[in-house]
Structure 1
């Protein structure tokens, strides 16, 4: 799982950042007690384990390209005594999942970085039984996300540049996503807007460390000379301070819950 800024973050920080988004996704998934489900880009497995507890008579498989995240996910599942969940290091774009096996595929910001999204979603769709559901959360376009705009402005980059890296907003356009999923064999594609804050830490120093761990932040800073980088960091610090309240440093965000089914 790659973070919206293009990084592979420590699991605890990423889960804290997206806690409210996870709650929305959990409600949207409506996991049944006997469901067999697949979690794409599961990271350290928080969303997988939560859904596995609901599918107490079913089974769960979480996949992620990060070996470290999968090791962590397995350790946490063992510690929680979850016997109906497994984790595999795998690229969901090409992994040979069992065909027509799962009732449900879920993902929390784990599907935006596919090199060939039609082929990737077709591969995932083949793993769903007929009438099986896809429920994924993706970011809306960058201009609707305060966290993206504020960080870029603070660093002197008011709009996304062609950085050649992962595009966190690649599935933000509903019309384009309908075309992708339709070409991949899905039907009944629908979108529900989500407006929840992202959480960057309890105070400004913690939030600054967190934002500086984003690959996109590092790339922007690398373009600057030392003096300009120092000034950009100070602007970033001020931006984070302006978003500090009693609950910590938070920014507005907008995402989609995208649902579809295999015919």
Structure 2
């Protein structure tokens, strides 16, 4: 059995990998994401019946039945208010000898997609530097911190590999306008710009569209460089 934090796509990929005899549970704290995942599952005939989606907080959830063989999270594990307690809870959901696989962002300086977006935002508003370990996309960029969390939770033998590539902002094939709307709707900089007023937001959006126009690749979308840590550990 595999447990994956749900946006839908990762859980469905896990279901295809486990085959008809496997069981996959997708978990997320967001009701909207869970609803979207359930709708997406209906359109995936291969083994979609082996996927269950539950809306709950992974930091505290207690699940019935046997422990899971594997836990997968793609950019969903960095938002816990108390990561030490959360990963201790996660450890209890995986059978002894099972496995946890995480994709986590490397430091912002290694992720031009974030640095360039922040550069646009900071040209319009003041954005204070955050606590590097505060819940957020880059909370786990310090690998010593991540290793300490895992070790205290009971995980062992962590293996961490870098991945560098490009990602489509706003999804594959998105136009510069669509990518700008996605960034403003889904990221904290969008809320901060909106709070500064409609004029500021409009100017920032225009700058984002211009930036994304320079990064737009026909047939692919707005492609921007990234760096990710791929982490595996044993329960």
Q: TM-score range by the shorter chain?
A: 0.7 to 0.9
Q: Are 2:115 and 1:149 aligned?
A: yes
SS at match of 1:52: helix
Q: Are 2:3 and 1:38 aligned?
A: yes
Q: Are 2:74 and 1:108 aligned?
A: yes
Query: Which residue, 39, 43, 60 being the options, matches 2:24?
Result: 60
Query: Which residue, 71, 81, 92 being the options, matches 1:126?
Result: 92
| TM-score, scaled relative to structure 2 | 0.87
For residue 234 of structure 1, report the CA deviation from its aligned partner.
2.9
Name which of structure 1's ranges 227-236 and 88-97 shifts more when overlaid on structure 2: 227-236
SS at match of 2:140: coil
For residue 214 of structure 1, report the CA deviation from its aligned partner.
2.4
Name which of structure 1's ranges 152-161 and 85-94 shifts more when overlaid on structure 2: 152-161
Mapped to 2, the partners of 1:130 and 1:214 lie a distance apart of: 37
Mapped to 1, the partners of 2:144 and 2:64 lie a distance apart of: 30
Q: Are 2:129 and 1:161 aligned?
A: yes
What is aligned with 1:206? Answer: 178
Mapped to 2, the partners of 1:76 and 1:256 lie a distance apart of: 27
TM-aligned CA distance change 1:227 to 1:65, over 3 Å: closer
Query: Which residue, 215, 221, 225 being the options, matches 1:243?
Result: 215
For residue 152 of structure 1, report the CA deviation from its aligned partner.
0.8
For residue 194 of structure 1, report the CA deviation from its aligned partner.
1.1
For residue 224 of structure 1, report the CA deviation from its aligned partner.
3.8
Does structure 2 retain, via aligned residues, the 8 Å contact 1:99–1:128? no
Mapped to 1, the partners of 2:198 and 2:102 lie a distance apart of: 40
Name which of structure 1's ranges 59-68 and 70-79 shifts more when overlaid on structure 2: 70-79
TM-aligned CA distance change 1:184 to 1:216, over 3 Å: same
What is aligned with 1:233? Answer: 205
Does structure 2 retain, via aligned residues, the 8 Å contact 1:99–1:129? no
Q: Are 2:120 and 1:177 aligned?
A: no
Mapped to 2, the partners of 1:166 and 1:182 lie a distance apart of: 19
SS at match of 1:114: coil
Q: Which runs of 5+ in 1 are unaligned?
A: 1-35
- How many residue pairs match? The answer is 225
Name which of structure 1's ranges 96-105 and 82-91 shifts more when overlaid on structure 2: 96-105
What is aligned with 1:17? Answer: none
For residue 64 of structure 1, report the CA deviation from its aligned partner.
0.6
TM-aligned CA distance change 1:74 to 1:220, over 3 Å: closer
User: 1:161-183: per-residue Cα shift (whole Å, max 9, x none)?
Assistant: 339x8411011111110001001
